[in-house]
């Protein structure tokens, strides 16, 4: 089946560059997986940012599911444009920030995202935040559309919860944002983020970095539960990571310099 879906071409580029911009952009991701080992876990990106709107422009056709072969996929349902009630499906959903929040008035606000889920019959869904929330997010509440069969509040990230009702195929993700906290928090990580990325992603095993790595930096791979599954030290600028022994799925790769400062962090998928 072909869906008329929305993928803003600038959005995915901004996801990678968000931390390097002076503008306010708070973007995070929720990991969704099923209880079946044959279903690849999927990340859904959501957030707010200056320069974004409460609708998405740019129309593209694609076939669903467009992820690696799996019985599980997730997509955000979003308004097509500012003058239309029509809804389209997107791989990521980033909204505008209320002007009052940027002006220092009403600097706490919430945004609700609608996520569509497909998975096999009888398979429970696990919602997971594998790391602390992005700076500026206070909490995230996930509920079914009627707030009857499922409701859970995530308060810090690094936690997960299971949706046991296989009849729930859509959920609301309500994120509570705090611009004052975003502006006042220490920005320890922003200046050190590198512009290179690991590739290929998805990978069947071996990853290389597109720019020289600092010699002596540590490379750590964590699974969706936050458990470290692979680690090595960069002994040369062309250090590669061999992930062929890891099961297919989503992982978070973190690079830190010898003095412990964050150099890069990226979500990767191992697929075979």
Please compute the mean of the pLDDT values over residues 53-59 and round it to a whole number.
61
Output the pLDDT for position 25: 85
Are 250 and 271 in contact by the 8 Å Cβ rule? The answer is no
Q: Encoding tokens for residue 221?
A: 């791979």
Topology of the domain covering 190-270: Immunoglobulin-like (2.60.40)
What band does 171 get if pLDDT is binned at 50, 70 and 90?
Answer: very high
Output the pLDDT for position 1: 34
What band does 110 get if pLDDT is binned at 50, 70 and 90?
Answer: very high
Of 60 and 83, more confident: 83
Q: Alpha-carbon distance 98 to 95, whole Å?
A: 9
Which range among 61-70, 148-157, 232-241 shows the weakest confidence by mean pLDDT?
Answer: 61-70
Of 18-27, 68-77, 133-142, 160-169, give the range with the top mean pLDDT.
Answer: 133-142
Are 35 and 160 in contact by the 8 Å Cβ rule? The answer is no
DSSP annotation of 38: T
189 has pLDDT over 60 = no
Are 185 and 147 in contact by the 8 Å Cβ rule? The answer is no
Domain parsing of the chain, residue ranges: 2-184, 190-270
Are 112 and 172 in contact by the 8 Å Cβ rule? The answer is yes
Which ranges in the chain belong to alpha helices (H)?
A: 9-17, 99-102, 179-184
Nearest to 258 by CA among 218, 198, 200: 218
Output the pLDDT for position 172: 96
Please compute the mean of the pLDDT values over residues 84-89 and round it to a whole number.
76
pLDDT above 90 covers a percentage of the chain that reads 14
What band does 152 get if pLDDT is binned at 50, 70 and 90?
Answer: very high
Give pLDDT tens digits for 205-254: 888 877 677 788 888 888 877 788 998 888 877 778 888 888 888 888 88
70 has pLDDT over 80 = no
What band does 197 get if pLDDT is binned at 50, 70 and 90?
Answer: low
């Amino acid at each position: 089946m072909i869906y008329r879906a929305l993928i803003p071409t600038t959005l995915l580029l901004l996801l990678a560059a968000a931390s390097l911009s002076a503008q306010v952009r708070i973007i995070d991701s929720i990991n969704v997986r099923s209880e079946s080992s044959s279903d690849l876990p999927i990340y859904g990106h959501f957030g707010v940012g200056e320069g974004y709107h409460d609708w998405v422009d740019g129309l593209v056709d694609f076939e669903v599911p467009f992820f690696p072969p799996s019985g599980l996929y997730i997509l955000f349902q979003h308004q097509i444009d500012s003058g239309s009630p029509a809804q389209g499906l997107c791989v990521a959903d980033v909204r505008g920030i209320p002007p009052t929040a940027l002006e220092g008035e009403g600097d706490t606000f919430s945004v609700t995202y609608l996520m569509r889920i497909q998975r096999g019959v009888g398979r429970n869904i696990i919602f997971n935040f594998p790391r602390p929330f992005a700076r500026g997010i206070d909490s995230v509440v996930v509920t079914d559309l009627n707030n009857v069969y499922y409701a859970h509040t995530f308060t810090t990230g690094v936690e997960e919860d299971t949706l046991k009702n296989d009849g729930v195929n859509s959920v609301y993700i309500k994120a509570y944002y705090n611009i004052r906290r975003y502006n006042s928090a220490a920005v320890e990580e922003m200046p050190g983020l590198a512009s290179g990325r690991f590739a290929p992603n998805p990978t069947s095993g071996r990853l290389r970095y597109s720019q020289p790595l600092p010699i002596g930096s540590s490379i750590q791979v964590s699974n969706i539960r936050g458990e470290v599954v692979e680690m090595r030290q960069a002994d040369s600028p062309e250090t590669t990571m061999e992930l062929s022994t890891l099961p297919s799925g989503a992982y978070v790769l973190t690079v830190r310099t010898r003095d412990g400062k964050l150099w890069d962090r990226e979500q990767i998928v191992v697929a075979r």
